[in-house]
Amino acid sequence: MKTNNGIILLNKPQSYTSRDIVNIVSKKLKTKKVGHTGTLDPLATGLLVICYGKYTKLVNYLTMTTKTYLAEIKLGIKTDTLDITGKVLETKHVSLEEDQIKKVLNSFLGVYHMEVPIYSAVKVNGKKLYEYARSGLSITLPTKDVKIYAIDFLSYHDDIITFSVTVEKGTYIRSLIKDICLKLHTIGTMSNLIRIKQGPFNLEDACSLEDFQNNNYQVLNIRDVLPLKEYPLTEALASKVLNGNKLTLPETSEYLLFTQDNEDIALYKKEANTYCCSIMF
């Protein structure tokens, strides 16, 4: 049974933007309250977590989770967008050894200082970076620290390196690939990217866009996402919860979901010995 609030796992096909998918879902479900929890470039495919209805309030929370990708590097080619769809700036012959590649990949484990790619929607002085790029304007690109939780070599043949990587929110795989190539003393560009996991969600559980359009999809709720305890809202707690007050309760669950008349009211998270309001539905 479809509901007014939920989470849908979609396998985004190539050439669609994340916004395209949101618009398709919005039209299908006849609601403007639709959001995704992490942008995938048009080139990329894979897991796109969609929230709709009241569950759009979960978007920022779910965006903070780790993400795992399968990525391919096409060696010997450099583009302006850092992926295979861009304008070719340079080509060269490349010859590498697997041990060399594995050593360089492993060097990125932990905190990594990354330059944000110019073809991105990050704003500098109120203007998106890709607008600078398209206008031919020069700009000092912002940098930031991100964390690489795992990175594993998978294969190397026909000038293509395939690897998997688990990262925190806000990590640009295109930029990571650029820096991998720099450490390998060569050039390369991202030729393929698949998001296979995000937080508790897996690509294998996602439906295709075609299945979604044919009503063949599953709707998840917050109980499927978090290890929580449902807590019916009592009269004594009602005013405190509805005002988002902190609570001291004899509970051990990390999360409490306050409900009333089968409606989700508020999500509280335990911090030390106190429950604090995370989301008010």
Residues with catalytic annotation? 41
Q: Are strands 188-198 and 45-52 parallel, antiparallel or unpaired?
A: parallel
The position carrying tokens 């796992």 is 9
Buried b (16+ CB within 10 A) or exposed e, 113-137: ebebbbbbeeeeeeeebeebbeeee
| Strand boundaries in the chain, DSSP class E | 6-12, 34-36, 45-52, 67-75, 77-79, 88-91, 110-115, 123-124, 127-128, 143-157, 160-167, 188-198, 201-202, 207-208, 228-232, 255-260, 263-271, 274-280
Q: Is 207 exposed, middle or buried (0-12, 13-18, 19+ CB in 10 A)?
A: middle
